[in-house]
Structures are given as C-alpha cells and as structure tokens.
Amino acid sequence: MLVLVAPGQGAQTPGFLTPWLDLPGAADRLAAWSDAIGLDLARYGTQADADEIRDTAVAQPLLVAAGLLSAAALGDVAELGPGAVAGHSVGEITAAAFAGVLDATTALKLVRTRGLAMAEAAAITETGMSALLGGDPETTVPHLEKLGLTPANVNGGGQIVAAGTLEQLAALEADKPEGVRRVVALKVAGAFHTHHMAPAVETLARAAEGLSPVDPKIAYVSNKDGKAVTTGAEVVQRLVGQVANPVRWDLCMETFQELGATALIEVCPGGTLTGLAKRALPGVKTLALKTPDDLDAARALIAEHASA
C-alpha cells in the first residue's frame, strides 16, 4: 500500500520551486493560485532568500502550493491509488486537498489565513522551536515540561521538537535531557502547536465556518492522534485545533504500519518525512520528490505499490 505525505514548515529552501515551473502548465497553475491568495508564490519559490521564506505567512502557502504542484505532476491523486494520505503540521492542509476534502484553491486560501494568523500570534512573544536528536521520549518529555517547554512535534525515529520562548530554548541548550545528542534550532518563526498559537485558532475557526468540506476519498491520517478521519467536517475541525496542539507524527507512522504501508512518497519539498520513515518504518520503501528528476522513480514506485 502506498502512502502520500506532505512536509511541514522548515522544509523550504531558497529557489526550491524553480525546476518545477518548467513543467507544462505549472507556471499557469501557480499564477492562478497566487492571484487567489494575493501572494506571489512564483517569486517566493524561485527568487526569495532564506529570511523571506522563513516568514510564516509566506512559508505556509508556499509549502502547500509546492506539495500540490508536485503531486499534480504525477497525475490526479485519487487515480494514483494511495491507500492513505497525511501531512506534517501545515502539510495537513495539503493532505486534505489530496483526500478531496478541500479543492486546491480553497486549501490555499485557508493556509494563507493560517499563516497570517500564526505569524500574528508569534509576534506577541519571541518564541521558537528546536529539534532534539536522540533520547527517549519517556525521559525527554518530562524534562521539557520542567523547563516550561512543549513537546510540540513528537516525530518518532528518535526525534522530538520542543517549542517555547527563546529563553526557555536557551535553557534547553544548556541543560539537555539525558541521551539527547544535539539540539538544533529550526527555521521557523514561532512556537507552533503550543498555547502561544491560541489566537490563531480563533481566527482559523472563523475562516473555517465558510467552508463546505467533502468527506475524504482516501484515508486521511490526522496529526492529533494518528487516527484516520472519515468526515470532511472533522478533518476541518482538526485542522483548526491542531494549530495549538502537538503534532503526533509518531502515531501517524504507527497507523501507516497498521494499514499495511509498503511505500511512502513525500511531495515537494521532500526529505524530512522520508528520513523519519526510514528509521521508524523498516521495510517500507521511501521516495522524496525534491525535483522533477524524481518523478520517473515516483511513478515506478506508484505502479508497484498503489492500491487497486
């Protein structure tokens, strides 16, 4: 069984969309999305520097657009035959479009609202996120809580991401949990998936009131608890609440395994989630769509592992 996944914030790099815009129809599709949300996605994806695309209000719609664009290069997602879809953090909106819950333009309008709201919430207090490499969750999580930090992403594969104020993250650098080898600051502009994002939840909830979600056509695995969600209304409800709640990617991967996953493809800008899967899902073939050069290998993997 094939699983199609979408990465979250921090996966973007300067110029990463450049080769994708050479594909037939890609530039026109991106231009239409840019007009719909009032953001020049092509410029940010091809010309902007690292600081510009670190901006939450830019990074989030850029990542969703990249995921949708790269998946479209493979064909209609439903016809590709994945047995499940999921996304990490903002990638959940990409996955909602893959599952047919939201159309592409609606997904991009929603993520534009999300990015702006989270950027505004992040500006209230200086906060950030850091990845902890190594360690045992049973030891790491209590240590983070002792420092006032939130285990905002429990990613599996030996990785937890802590979020909180810059002072709290500095204390973590000086006082690592037992077994943690490194603490790596992430290229994000706030303590996402924590109580610091509560104002963004309210804004997103108001935006969600005007949506007409469709029930998923493909199993949609949620960051909240790793469960497959069966109604469009619940998918949207979870998208709203997840902004201020931890991402449980470890539980998502457990569900992939329970569903019988044999292959996992991560859409552009791929790499982070395939890296986690290689450690946590032994025997599952993985492929990251980094450039269009990866499309032929992805098509071959789809042909071998897609659901009937």
Positions marked catalytic:
89, 193
State the sign of the Cα–Cα–Cα–Cα dihedral 221, 76, 48, 36: negative
**Through-space distance between the first and last CA atoms of the chain, rounded to whole angstroms:** 9
- Distance (Å, whole) CA 54 – CA 60: 9
Query: In Å, what is the CA distance from 135 to each residue of 128, 140, 159, 161, 192?
Result: 21, 6, 8, 12, 22
Give dist(CA 105, CA 90) in Å, integer. Answer: 15
The CA distance from 80 to 96, in Å, is 16
Phi/psi-derived region of residue 86, left when phi > 0, alpha when psi is between -120 and 50, beta in every other case: beta
**Which tokens in the block code for residue 39?**
């953001």
Q: At what angle do helices 104-122 and 198-208 cross, to 10 degrees?
A: 150
Length of the chain counted residue by residue:
308
What DSSP character marks residue 177? Answer: P
For residue 16, the 8-state DSSP code is: T
